[in-house]
Amino acid sequence: MDNGGKRRIYIIIMEDISNMSEQEFSSEAVFSIKLHIVLVTKNRQNLFRGEIKVKLRDVIREICEDQRVEILEGNISSDHVHLLVSIVPKVNINKFILLLKGKTTYALFSSFESLRQRYFNRHLWAKGCFCCSCGEVNEDLIKDYLEQQNLKEPAAEAAEETPW
């Protein structure tokens, strides 16, 4: 039974990623997805101090645990939050960020009357956020890998190469 070369490609990929320091496995994939997320308060208000900061940290930890997102590093400043997280492929990044903003807002407003009075319109966070992926694989490494794959192909298959 011909599997269309899938097994061979899978083995090559497994060998190439074996050098990655931290990869995760699921039944369908091997992955290492790390994101740097920055959430900023509305109008850069200095809100996160004392008990509010502790409550925010605890709520973020709970949300990440529920969503199977691992916090690798984090920092809560007075007006913004930095998170370095590792996610599984099933997590929708946009929905995760909206969930973070919504649940933290609800939890903080439920716990602190002063915030509820100050932000009566229930907008704690600024509209946007910053999110970028980070990791061990960059664009140059992928291009080199793809070029090497073309060199490994037998001559007959290389002649039928499809340009992108």
CATH code of the domain covering residue 125: 3.30.70.1290
CA distance 106 to 122: 8
H or E element: which one contains 94? helix 93-111
Per-residue pLDDT at 27: 64
Residue 1 within a domain: no
Range of the domain at 105: 21-134
Question: What DSSP string describes 2-17?
Answer: --TTHHHHHHHHHHHH
Residue 159 within a domain: no
DSSP letter, residue 49: -
Per-residue pLDDT 10s for the chain (164 aa) are 454 544 433 433 444 444 445 666 666 677 788 999 999 999 898 999 999 999 999 999 999 999 999 999 999 999 999 999 999 888 899 999 999 999 999 999 999 988 888 877 778 999 999 999 887 777 777 778 777 776 765 555 545 555 55
Residue 73 within a domain: yes
Number of domains in the chain: 1
Residue 35 within a domain: yes
Residues 6+ positions from 69 with CB-CB distance below 8 Å: 63, 85, 86, 87, 88, 91, 96
Residue 56 within a domain: yes
Residue 162 within a domain: no
pTM for the predicted model, two decimal places: 0.72
Residue 85 within a domain: yes
Residue 155 within a domain: no
